Structure 1
Amino acid sequence: MNLPFLEQNGVLAIGGIDVARLADRAGRTPFFAYDRAAIDARVRMLRDKLPGDIELHYSIKANPMQAIVHHLATRVDGFDVASASEMALALDTGAGARQIGFAGPGKERDELRRAVASGVNIHLESVTQLHLVAALGWELGLRPNVAIRVNPNFHVGQSGMRMGGGAAQFGIDAEQVPALLREVDAHDVALVGFHLFWGSQCLHAATIIQAQQQSAELVTRLATDLPTAPRYVNMGGGFGIPYFAGDTPLDIDAVTQAMHGWLPQFHDRLPGTRIVLELGRYLVGEAGVYVCRVIDRKASRGRTFLITDGGLHHHLAASGNFGQVLRRNFPALLGNRLNDAPQERCDIVGCLCTPLDRIADDVPLPDARIGDFVVVLQSGAYGRSASPADFLGHPAAIEMLV
């Protein structure tokens, strides 16, 4: 695993601070720690490789920790949100309303009212949403900004999670968009863009390249009869990070070089239209760790179990219960024993009363002791906020940006 942080005298360090000192700073385990320098390095790398007129948006759902969102506000060009709470968080950073896109298939009336009032770009996912937004605009005396989220009419290949291409709760089928555009034209709303989200967690560069090119082609066809070119097209992101043994990191050079190739033709056909990349886990996922402590060890019929004070209530994804079909281990290690050679194979489990509460199965580790720090890497995205924190009533995990 290629770490953006590593060791000080055999102890894992995040943001230059070793795990023991971080535990002292937190006051207890478990905790999540996020390395701001690693986040900054990822943003800089993308800025260096992407065409200069590509806009980067941070998808807050990946990690809505307030400190991370405020940190990224001065480093990205906008935010993508999926609830009124995320919208408020984005606006609190000082980001302009026109740099915020509000997506989601089930927007409540109150959420949409707040979105219209704030002036953010509302990504329509149904005719119902269009009618409701238009009515709210009339009620508030405002002209809402809307974009159409398109469920594309193409399928992607190697993607961790498909978000479109077949029947889906997300967006409006591409073949239904022309009729919706006529409806939009009949209402007092401002059409500002399109949003396509074909999938996520993709490590296959050729798939991303193909999806981006097909997205660009689809939007140019849909926008042919518009009186003016859309202000922006949000092409989603889909960039994945390696989680499991055997995963190959995304070839970002191949993706960005291809973008340099197809973007000029896109601008020829839709001059003035900005391309937005909506990235979440790719910006923050590898910059975070989850740290818990071994509180017991036991042998059971030939297997060694390390029982920790953490578990799926803090980090559902690492337990394998956040979309994995066949459970695989996130990279896990003993953060205070990096220089010690593996001596045994262990199952690392949490403290909950369910066999689903597993952090890692059959992993090689040094001779583990009570008090050792278990560190789960690749934990900067879809961790604390994506987990059932109230299950069994244990204390919430602390979060730190260091």
Structure 2
Amino acid sequence: MSFLYNITIQASGLVLKGIAPFNEKIKKGVLGRKETFSILKQNIEKTDKTLWFHCASLGEYEQGLPVFKALRAHYKNHIIVLSFFSPSGYDIRKNSPIADVVVYLPLDSKKNAVTFLNIVKPELTVFVKYDIWPNILTELKNRGLRAILISAAFRKNQSYFKFYGHFFKKALFAFEYIFTQNESSKKLLESINYKNVSVSGDTRFDRVSSQLKLDNNLPFIQDFKDTKLCVVAGSTWPEGERFLSNFINTHNDLDVKYIIAPHNIKTGEILNLKSSLHCKTVLYSEKSNNNLKEAKVFIVDTIGILSKIYNYANIAYVGGALGNTGLHNTLEPAVFGIPIIIGNNHSKFPEAASMISHGGMFSISNQTEFNNSLNKLIKNETFRLQSGRKNLQYIKENRGAVIQIVNYLRI
């Protein structure tokens, strides 16, 4: 398995280079990984003490951020290296204040693992949730370097728990301790005789709770919303945007404002969305030239402000689960105590199942179900407020993962 894995990694590198000219996202990753070692060498001296945080993408970064902040505050004299595998994480957080150096993780070949760790030499490595790379982790263990995995979530169909998965299973044992999101993940680890594990919960609950301590005011959103009921659709994809457009176009009688924040903000897709709406619609990029109070729909063609926008929502729709892209962050709106509508493809997201069972989230699969759910939440104030409070209570009940991790690390 080790031989096959290493051949696959080498082949993947060649394939990615071949595809790169035709795919902008892959191209960014290929070019970024070429610079990783030179960036590290320019920023790390041989005498520096370092910590290393690794995240697959932006979601895992947000998940790990409360722990990263705690470590940053304690290890003030250490160089902190933050790595991403995905361009969507790197592009948005390449200037993250919790890190001194931000790079793409090189492909997981044995040679790259040795080179990376020869430069970084981390006293402590923190991986978030998954993105478990066997060669890098094995090299960490061989050097006696500490590594932990936080907010881990496992499924029984993963190779770690199959008879043929010894090579990948071995990578898990490179972690000195694993903090899981749930009891089922803990039991799966124990089934392969991994004992240094505990259920800490998901650090995202701590992350989103901290949002309430920030200044979430956005005057232009307040101008747009005015005194009206507001539906915020966050991280939307075309399939969900069609439901939204149809609802808005056929319910002109409702005195409601709508904010749509697409996941992809490509100009063509934004203009298509705008043209599908038969009412006064303003883009974020056009806000200074429009009277926002007169608009019914506000389209957010920028990134980085959605978590604050949810502060103005009375109802949220979160995209990703109508297609196969994966449900986006539902905890961000939940912390503001509002009900949430999502698609029906959410089996890999336990927080969705929990909020649905608690009565604060509603899963839909077609236009009729979407219309019925949104209509009920708009027109029944008591039902809307009760549903939202259930989501906030769920957030409050699941905080505390960061404290457990920090206590383990004794900082």
For normalisation by structure 1, the TM-score amounts to 0.31
User: Greater relative contact order (Cα 8 A, min sep 6): structure 1 or 2?
Assistant: 1
Flag the structure with higher helix content: 2
For normalisation by structure 2, the TM-score amounts to 0.31
Flag the structure with higher strand content: 1
